[in-house]
Amino acid sequence: MNKGLLGNDAGGLRRNARLHSAESGKEQRTYRVRSTISTSELAIVYAARSEEQEMKCVIKEFFPKALVRRGKDGSSVRRLSGVPHDKYEALRNAFINEAVLLKACEHPGVVRCIDQFEQNGTVYIVMEFIEGMTLAEMVGGRPDMIEPGFLYRTMLPLIETLEHLHQQGVIHRDLKPGNIMIDQEGRAKLLDFGSAVRFAESGAHPILTTAGYSPLELYSEQSKQGPVSDIYSLAALLYYCCRGTAPTDVRKRLFDDRLEPVSAGLKRGWPFLSRAIQRGLIVSPDKRCSSLKWFKAAITMEYVTSPSVRRKSRSG
């Protein structure tokens, strides 16, 4: 993903471009684009501002760059000739489904979907703007920054957010440090539902993976996927918190399943969490830890047995 691009350098909308949403029976809402935050193969993400509510927001534009081009007006999006209609529509419907799932999974730990509309021949999703930093920016390869108290106050609620998703029949399928935003109060918000699906629905799931964080079953369209798929990614996420690096990619572990122990070379042992992570990172989904409760219990034990908490309990 490319970051820090502005205007049409990324094929994106120009600065100060206006977008208009008008649902049936409601007043028109106007959003002004301020800058481009990031681009991917399928979308462009903008920092924007709602003119009516006078608040910052984030707008995601459907822009599969291999299939479309920006018009000469700098706004319109057109499908390239020769691109199969069914392929384009499948991607477009998957993009719209992100807004549908965000609304269905509304929760304090999930980024809020504010609006969704069509304009310029494409689709836009408007989401809340979160002041803070991603988990990737916070850890930055420095596991010494992470204490048991952080995991207890921030990652434990994230696990409860995952439980909420699974209760709604949804798996995220893209848990990674860059998709976890930590706000200014230390609360974790789950971002980017572009890969999320309802796991009970039949049919092929698109292959969208991240090295180190995606389980083996996500590398096949036909494989059975469910909550255990998110559990693998959660274990990889916690491994990253403890060590500052992602675990060895699952495809390499198919032939040589050597995984650097969580606590190897670290001052902190993580005795409880390391066992839960090890069980969560099992390659075979049938043998993998199948419940989030083990991670909740492990984080709680790391916290209550940490020296700072024990000192407080003795002094109290």
Active site residue ranges: 174
- Residue 141, judged by CB atoms within 10 A of its CB (0-12, 13-18, 19+), counts as exposed
**How far is residue 177's CA from residue 154's CA, in Å, rounded to a whole number?**
13
Strands 180-183 and 170-171 turn out to be unpaired
- Residue carrying structure tokens 């002094």: 315
Distances (CA, A) of 216 to 163, 205, 220, 228, 250: 21, 13, 8, 11, 6
CB 258 within 8 A of CB 157: no
